[in-house]
Chains A and B, each alone.
Chain A
Amino acid sequence: MISVCNVSKSFGSIKALDNISFTISRNEIVGFLGPNGAGKTTLMRLLTGTFPPSKGSILIEDKNLTQSKQIRKKIGYLAEHNPLYREMTAHDFLNYVAALKGVPWLKRKKAVLKVAEQCSVASVFNRIIGKLSKGYQQRIGLAQALLGEPEVLILDEPTNGLDPQQIIEMRKLVRELGQNKTIILSSHILHEVEQTCGRVLILNHSRLAAVLELKDEINLEEIFIDIVTKEPEPCPK
């Protein structure tokens, strides 16, 4: 479904990602783990087509992401810090996103209602987003990502700022969605990744440090600490 081949990304002299390769199968839930500055958000932005890689390619269903805007229809994105138009009502915002994602006018009302029910935001439909709780705002962010029925969901720290109850609900929702969607989520929280994902990619110092299948016998915490406490390998000259 997704194939990332030798991808590097630099911002001026700063190398944010260095020669990363992996593949993700359909209906898989994959977690990106890594300390701050490891390159998780940059990798997610590359996967949503926000900007192209400096080197390498990203293929979604064998089509190059940077060469076709239409592939973005297959992607739903919940960005870090959940950007929303805070002065809009939840209903207007979701309608707006549906229009931008190319949902036909006649099907828009139904599509908006569907995602609102899926994310339990129908009760706050006519309220101003900026006045809603963080939990509702996060759900609206997820609802906009679900609009247009994307096959791939990219969630950048989806439980960021939520209370424990909301975190549990969000994880449950992600697992449910993972039954018929490919999900990529990033997190700082090991426990969250362990509970939600089938596979984890650990990023450290802009490189892909490990790819782990999450099985019972794996001690993720131990492996993670072992990786992030290692000094970075010097770049080959």
Chain B
Amino acid sequence: MSKIIAISLRDLRSWMNNFSFYLLAAFFLGMTGYFFWSGLSYFSLVSFQVATNPATQFKNLNLTEGVFSLFMANMTVLLLLLIPILTMKSFTEEKKFGTLELLFSFPLSDLQIVFGKFFGLLAVVSILILPTVSYFFLAQVVGAKFEFATLLSGYLGLILISASFISFGMFMSSLTEHQVISAGIGFAVLLFFWIIGWVADWTNPQLGAIFRELSLVLHFEDMTRGILDTKDIAYFVFFTAFFLFASLATLEIRTWKR
């Protein structure tokens, strides 16, 4: 365990000492801040209209549906863009500079290397996400009170979906020595998992059901409404475990006798 923590901390420190992390963080927080503010302002406008004109069509108007779910969806799209950039160098750089060979010579298992890198990146993404919690406390100042349980379930979903993105990005990074290829393919495939649910409604029912089950966004949606379903949690856990195993297999290829 201490070796996994050592690898995670090294990767975390490496990002914290990297100026590009702060550029990414500024972009992420700027965009999420804008999304939150615009979502809340729009909700406030709609609420005012409903209050002054009861004949309007808006029913079941609430902060969770009107602001939180939308904000979470927007934030996930941003993470879909940013996480492949964060994961692209996890293995490619180690291969490029030969430090992976150094790691292989230490009394370490490949699983410890994969877990170390995964938890390091999860910590980096958590640091990126954490400041956005403050938006909800700031919103309280203007009277927008969000349900604590919904926030908790939404952020759990966000961490789970980030873990899925990270595991896939790491797998891409383990396959190539080129960071741009790793990030590019990583983004394209994750986007595919993101939009696959869109076609579920207008394709044949059997295929639609498969698309729905594969879709990252459909499994995430309920969590942003405060609904915790073990099926959704299991989906993200399996998705993450599958691609971590795929990264492990890529590292282990060298140990196969040929």
Question: A19 an interface residue at 8 Å Cβ cutoff?
Answer: no
Interface: A72 (CB within 8 A):
yes
* Nearest-neighbor residue (CB-CB) of A75 within chain B: B105
Residues of A within 8 A of B101 (CB): 45, 50, 79, 83
- Flag if A99 contacts B107 (CB, 8 Å): no
Q: How far is the CA of A84 from the CA of B101 in the complex (A)?
A: 10
Q: Which one of B10, B99, B254, B258 contacts A54 once the chains associate, using CB atoms below 8 Å? A: B258
Confirm or deny: B134 has a beta carbon within 8 angstroms of a beta carbon on chain A. no
A86 B107 Cβ-Cβ under 8 A = no
Report yes or no: B106 in contact with A72, Cβ–Cβ below 8 A: yes
Q: Does A22 reach chain B (CB closer than 8 Å)?
A: no
B3 contacts chain A at the CB level, 8 A cutoff = yes
Does any Cβ of A come within 8 Å of B149's Cβ?
Answer: no
B17: Cβ under 8 A from any A Cβ: yes
Which chain B residue lies CB-closest to A128? B17
Which residues from chain B contact A102 at a C-beta distance below 8 Å? 3, 107
- Nearest-CB distance from B116 to chain A (Å)? 9
Within 8 A of B (CB), among A57-90: 66, 69-70, 72-73, 75, 77, 79, 81, 83-88
Q: Please name all residues of chain B whose beta carbon is closer than 8 Å to the beta carbon of A48 when the two chains form the complex.
A: 104-105
Q: Is B108 an interface residue (CB 8 A)?
A: yes
What is the chain A residue whose CB lies nearest that of B6? A99
Residues 33-51 (chain A) with a chain B CB within 8 angstroms: 45, 48-51
* Cross-chain contact A96 with B105 (CB below 8 angstroms): no
B17 lies within 8 A of A87 (CB)? yes
CB-CB contacts of B4-18 with A at 8 A, as 1s and 0s? 001100100110011
Tally the A-B contacts, defined by beta carbons under 8 Å.
74
Q: Residue-by-residue, is B235-255 near A (CB-CB < 8 Å gives 1, otherwise 0)?
A: 000000000000000000011
Chain A 85-113 against B: per-residue CB contact (8 Å), 1 yes, 0 no?
11110001000110111100100000000
B59: interface (CB < 8 Å): no
A87 B107 Cβ-Cβ under 8 A: no
Verify A96–B10 contact, CB threshold 8 A: yes
Contact A100 B108 (CB under 8 A): yes
Q: Which of B2, B102, B258 contacts A11 (CB 8 A)?
A: B258
A19 to B245 alpha-carbon distance, docked (Å): 34
- Kindly report which residue of chain A lies nearest to residue B17, judged by CB atoms: A87
- A 167-199 to B, binary, CB cutoff 8 A, 1 in contact else 0: 000000000000000000000000000000000
9 nearest A-B pairs in the assembled complex, by CB-CB distance: A83-B98, A99-B6, A77-B105, A48-B105, A72-B107, A50-B104, A51-B254, A83-B99, A100-B106
**B residues within 8 Å of A by Cβ?**
2-3, 6-7, 10, 13-14, 17-18, 97-99, 101-109, 254-255, 257-258
Known: A69-B107, A79-B105. 20 other contacts (CB 8 A): A12-B258, A50-B101, A50-B254, A51-B104, A51-B255, A52-B255, A54-B258, A70-B107, A72-B105, A77-B105, A83-B101, A83-B102, A84-B97, A86-B97, A88-B14, A96-B6, A97-B106, A99-B2, A102-B3, A102-B107
Can you pick out 21 interface pairs between chain A and chain B where the beta carbons lie within 8 Å of each other? Answer: A48-B104, A52-B257, A54-B257, A69-B108, A72-B107, A73-B107, A77-B102, A79-B102, A79-B105, A81-B98, A83-B98, A83-B99, A85-B14, A85-B99, A87-B14, A87-B18, A96-B10, A99-B2, A99-B6, A100-B7, A102-B107
